[in-house]
Structure 1
Amino acid sequence: PVNIEGNAETAQVVNLIPWMDYEFRVLASNILGIGEPSLPSSKIRTKEAAPTVAPSGLGGGGGAPNELIITWTPTLRDYQNGDGFGYIVSFRRKGSQAWLRAQVPHAESLHFVYRNESIAPYTPFEVKIKAYNRKGEGPESLTAIVYSAEE
């Protein structure tokens, strides 16, 4: 809470989370004490912004032959920062130069399956993930090692 002079008609609230609904109440105080809070304001939603955190819990493995399964913990709505939320999964065989990318367009998704006949059993892959929404892409996670399925 911030103290505002009694003749002020507006106040600026800072450090709010993007794409979040807020209600505000006002309390008045003077030398006699603090008055009752006002009724809550109508809900106000902050503007959208690109995600600011990478998805967590990156891992995977298992599955059927010729598959690479990549898993993660879905990002909570509080950290999605806007509509159109999804994930971008990047992966490559360990030691390879080129990254493959896949877009997973649903916020509640928690895995991606890459199928390719050229994937040998128990092949190590480097994987990373980042979130996106209609305002842009967020930061990438740290790289994890995930193994393709065994025979």
Structure 2
Amino acid sequence: MDTRSAAPTVAPRHVGGGDGKVGELTMTWEPLTRAQQGAPNIGYRLYWRKNTGRPNALWNMHKIDGHADYYVAFVGPDNYYLEYDFKLQAFNDRGYGPNSSEVIIMSAEDCM
């Protein structure tokens, strides 16, 4: 198979996040290299949810086109310094790659 015309075969690495302003959840990752992208029009599908310990809790999802390495979601001013589960996957014109490992990140801290 020609990997230059396939869905990504690897998940983004160095998935993490944190910091930012109160009411925000900052998610970060290392973008796929050109060789890892597989086909044109790379993008990322992000999943996050408040860490409740319930494996059936629903995920929020957002798609980003391009070579981004972070995304900031508004979670509300009452949701400061809380744990969130986060994972993402790369996609391109040929389809979706594997999900990254799931990590726990913190929403921004209220320093008042």
TM-score calculated relative to the size of structure 2: 0.90
Shift of 1:84: 1.3
Aligned to 2:92: 133
Aligned to 1:117: 76
Aligned to 1:82: 39
Match of residue 100, structure 1, among 53, 60, 85: 60
Distance 1:17 1:142 in 2: 26
Relative contact order, higher structure (CA 8 A, sep 6+): 2
Identity %: 33
Match of residue 30, structure 2, among 55, 60, 73: 73
Considering fraction of residues, name the structure with more helix.
Answer: 2
Distance 2:24 2:70 in 1: 12
- Count of equivalent residues: 107
**Aligned partners of 2:22 and 2:77 also within 8 Å:** no
Shift of 1:116: 2.9
SS at match of 2:99: coil
TM-score calculated relative to the size of structure 1: 0.67
SS at match of 1:78: helix
Shift of 1:69: 0.1
SS at match of 2:35: helix
Report which of the two structures shows the higher radius of gyration computed on alpha carbons: 1
**Aligned partners of 1:64 and 1:149 also within 8 Å:** yes
Distance 1:117 1:101 in 2: 16
Distance 1:101 1:133 in 2: 17
Aligned to 1:18: 3
Runs of 4+ off more than 6 Å: none
